[in-house]
Amino acid sequence: MAYYAFNTWVWKPYRNYQFQSGAPGQRAAIVKAGLALGFAAYQVNAAIKMTRNTQDPFLQRIGALLPNFGKSLSSVGDNLKNGRFDERGIQDLNRSATNLLQSAERQGQPIRPVAVPIPGL
């Protein structure tokens, strides 16, 4: 769910230049992206708690990558919610998300986006 929120509400609009100055609906797109990242951070924090005491090797490896990703989601999300476009933060988040996806794929557990409604978006 966290990846879906990031990909749908942040990465795709970013790649379509919807956050650029002068873009139609720019401010609304930035604020929506911030809210989506808040939701994603909440989901990642829930996953961190779930993986904290697991004996499953896959969950342990993925869980080790989550704390920094969750902090980045929160930080960039806070900037966006306040209307501040953080291009470098979005690019760093994409690299982190790609790293998580590739790590899971290498371990035979691909992560697939799960479409979920996000309240307010």
> What are the pLDDT digits (tens) for 26-72?
999 998 999 999 999 999 999 899 888 889 888 888 888 888 888 88
> Is residue 120 situated within a structural domain?
no
Angstrom distance (rounded) from CA 110 to CA 121: 27
Total structural domains within the chain: 1
> Is residue 118 situated within a structural domain?
no
> Does pLDDT of 13 surpass 80?
yes
> Is residue 100 situated within a structural domain?
yes
> Is residue 98 situated within a structural domain?
yes
As a dihedral over the C-alpha atoms of residue 45, residue 84, residue 82, residue 26, rounded to 10 degrees, the angle is -100
> Is residue 84 situated within a structural domain?
yes
> Is residue 41 situated within a structural domain?
yes
Predicted structure pTM score:
0.80
> Is residue 116 situated within a structural domain?
no
> Is residue 99 situated within a structural domain?
yes
| Structural domain that includes position 71 | 2-15+25-106
